[in-house]
Each structure stands twice: as structure tokens, then as C-alpha cells.
Amino acid sequence: MPATVVTLDTLNEDAPNHEGLLCESRLAFLEHALASAPVDRPLLLFQHHPPFDTGLRYMDTIRLANPDAEWDVIARTRKPDYLFMGHLHRPIGGAWRGIPFHIQRALAHQVAFDLVTEGHIPGSHEPPDYAHVTVDGDRIVIHQCSFLYDGPLFSLHDKAALERAAF
């Protein structure tokens, strides 16, 4: 099924710490894109910086700096059916103001699952992964795949294979 995909640049080129910002030009782009999107298909919004806190304390200090400006555009035009983001290098899902979201793990280094550390970004050696997004009718399905996994694949219905897998 067709979907409308809107990609939004959120990088603040003037910030030394990689935080996000939607300037007037980008907000105008977003308003036009959302207002002109066909209503007979899902609308997927992709942007780098989340417009909300996630609990990753340092990363929350470098999220989108003006989330209310983004929300004002969304509120007067159209809510995306799904919001996709990166920046946090962690797989995170939830909803922001009624919009379901997916934050994708990175292909480079990972940010550790650490809801306490402040002052620096805690890293980890978790494997990278990618997401496969399918839009079909009233469903948006996201599969995450760790592509550096080199362990066994086996049938969960095969008792001998389960024993060999040595959980």
C-alpha cells in the first residue's frame, strides 16, 4: 500500500553538541508537507531528533530544542500516523501526544540503556541493527534485525535443535 513519507532535517548546524532545531524554513516545509499529504494513505514522518525526553539523561539535553513549534504545525495541519527518529542510538518505542513513534538503534556506536548517567553519553558494544517497515492497509509493522548476529537459527518446534542451542 502506498504511504506518504516526509523526511525532516532537524540538525542545528550552529550547535556544538548535535542538538536539534527546526528553523522557520523547516517549519514551513513541515507545514506544507503535512497539509498537502493525501489523506487516503498513511503519513510517516522521519526526523533525526526526538521532540521529547526519553529518560536517557544526557541525550535528552540534545534533543529537538523547539518541540512546541513542531507540535503547533502538526496540530494545525495533520498528525502523522507514525513518527520515526534516530539520534539516540537505542531502540525505543512509545507515543508522543498520541503519535506512535519508533527510535532506531544506530549502525555505528550504541548508547547504553542507562537512565541515571548525566554529563556524558554512556556507550555500549551492542550490535547494530536496521528496521524493516511495512505499511499494509491499516497496519504499520516494524521489524528490527540485528544484522551482525552470527548465532544459530533453528525451529522452536524441534526439541533436538532446542537442546543443541544451549540456552
Specify if 146 maps to a domain. Answer: no
Specify if 114 maps to a domain. Answer: yes
Identify the domain containing residue 75 by its residue range.
Answer: 4-124
Is residue 76 scored above 70 in pLDDT?
Answer: yes
Please count the structural domains in the chain.
Answer: 1
- Is 99 within 8 Å of 82 (Cβ atoms)? yes
4, β-bridge pairs: 43
CB within 8 Å of 107: residues ≥ 6 apart: 128, 130
pLDDT at 138: 86
Specify if 86 maps to a domain. Answer: yes
Task: Classify 144 as helix, strand or coil.
Answer: strand
Give me the CATH number covering residue 88.
Answer: 3.30.750.180
Q: What's the mean per-residue pLDDT of the chain?
A: 93
Average pLDDT over residues 143-151: 86
Residue position matching grid coordinates 513549534? 69
94, β-bridge pairs: 101
Percent of the chain with pLDDT over 90: 75
Specify if 130 maps to a domain. Answer: no
Specify if 35 maps to a domain. Answer: yes
Instruction: Report pTM.
Output: 0.91
pLDDT at 160: 82
Q: How far apart are CA 126 and CA 106, in angstroms?
A: 10
Average pLDDT over residues 23-37: 98
